[in-house]
Amino acid sequence: MQEYSDQYIGGEWRPTLAAESIAVLNPATEQVIASVPAGGAEDVDAAVRAARAAARAWGATSREERLAPLTRLRDGLAARQQEMAETVVAELGSPIGFATAVQAGLPLGVAGSYLDILAGYEFEERVGTSTVFAEPAGVVAAITPWNYPLHQIVAKVVPALAAGCTVVLKPAEDTPLVARLFAQLVHEAGFPAGVFNLVTGRGPDAGAALAAHPGVDLVSFTGSTAVGRRIAEVAGRGIKRVALELGGKSANVVLPGADLTRAVNVNVANVVANSGQTCSAWTRLLVHEDQYEEAVAIAAKAAGKYVPGDPTESSTGLGPVVNAKQRERVRGYITGALAEGARLVVGGAEAPEGLAQGYYVRPTVLADVTPDMAVAQEEVFGPVLSILAYRDEEHALEIANGTEYGLAGSVWAADDETAAAFARRMDTGQVHINGGRFNPLAPFGGYKKSGVGRELGRHGLEEFLQTKSLQF
């Protein structure tokens, strides 16, 4: 077991000022694999001071001066992609195939996309008699979740640095090891001291101190809606800008005339990916009542292909959830749905056969789910699919829009035009049309209680900019 006792602050690894540590567990074995400092207000203050001291000089750099170390950082991510993937397997439980392609592969693509965006971005424009400048927002507090630990770090830190901001990163306490690897790459890339800083710690301590710190100008947070609300309240008292990517309860609407088999199979794969721990997962499958039982049968067959197992094995398609608390949360939603009248098609709350150890959950399909059930309204964050029936298109839209969330979704129809017309009426930030692939250049973010602001692409860069106009 590796015991770490330092934080990355001011361009160097410094001994933590915290007395306690956080144990990092492997969710497949339940064994402690490392420990990191449980940083608090003192570590946060040191990191913010370092970021503040570096902010003006870094903000005044040219695009070329930013592109050079950002390019080296991208190259470092490429060189150590396999190590990143294996680290995510160890601390999150993502299967190695998924971890390599998505957990480590997607961040590499996102980092590369920001090199192109920065190279072509116009930071000033002439508007009548004025010149309008896009300037760095200042010191950014980046608070990231455990479900896509490297991707969320890259999606916040890289555009913030590209915009000319300095950053203090507080990663999730369950997955701090990949964050430490990222900090090593930043150091090797040669960024000036204080431009990037890392503090590991718990949310109520380090996260809260970071959000409230008067030296922070913008808080970028990804996580639950409940925590996002508290961060917004704290940041609001300091008149800080916030970017919040929060929960989701996304609907996959299959309209009559669509390829039902493909739509349902893709939906099951979407929900099972990353053990269901994806904020944008299509956890509600909406099917016309005339095709309902056919869809249930297709989903049952599809879910049966995913057998929970050792995430280090290349053949494994479904690993554990992140920790014991999350496992019990997911199982609670399954038993709660059955108590409310849902029908168990496959899966269930019992431990998967032969896997008494590890935080495993059976891939579960629930039928006869109604829109008012908790499992259809609240974010489960596990491999659980709820199937709901609708009478007509207006009823489907009512169900799809009938939650407090609006992060993502999907629509399938006989043609793209029909699907797109329905999608335009959905109260959600991103919709996949007839199986359209995820695009890392497109803005990602939510309506309603799914968040404020956007990540990825040009919109993601602009979250970290503020405008100034000079009148002539």
- Catalytic positions: 245, 279
3-class DSSP state for residue 157? helix
Element of type H or E holding 344: strand 343-346
**Is the alpha carbon torsion for 198, 203, 204, 207 positive or negative?**
positive
Residues 364-395 as b or e (16 or more Cβ within 10 Å = b):
bbbbbbebebebbebbbbbbbbbbbbbeebeb
**Is the alpha carbon torsion for 441, 447, 450, 452 positive or negative?**
positive
Q: Which residues contact 90 (CB under 8 A, 6 or more apart)?
A: 26, 33, 177
Instruction: Give CA–CA dist 208/231, Å, rounded.
Output: 7
Instruction: Give me the helix-helix angle, 63-79 and 177-189, nearest 10°.
Output: 130
Give the burial class of 223: count Cβ atoms within 10 A of its Cβ; 0-12 exposed, 13-18 middle, 19 or more buried.
Answer: buried
User: β-strand 6-9 against 12-15: which pairing, if any?
Assistant: antiparallel
Q: Looking up tokens 């309204």, which residue turns up? A: 377
| Backbone φ and ψ of 336, nearest 5° | -65, -40
The alpha carbon of 164 is separated from its chain's Cα centroid by a whole number of angstroms, namely 23
Q: Take residue 81 and report the two structure tokens written for it.
A: 């992609």
User: β-strand 196-198 against 218-222: which pairing, if any?
Assistant: unpaired
DSSP code at position 353: T
3-class DSSP state for residue 303? helix
Q: Strand (E) positions, 255-369?
A: 284-288, 343-346, 364-367
DSSP code at position 100: I
In order, the DSSP letters of 231-280 are HHHHHHHTT-EEEEE-----EEEE-TTS-HHHHHHHHHHHHHGGGG--TT
Q: Take residue 71 and report the two structure tokens written for it.
A: 């390019």
Instruction: Give CA–CA dist 150/349, Å, rounded.
Output: 30
Q: Take residue 391 and report the two structure tokens written for it.
A: 């009478």
Q: How far apart are the first and last CA of the chain?
A: 63
Instruction: Give CA–CA dist 281/265, Å, rounded.
Output: 14
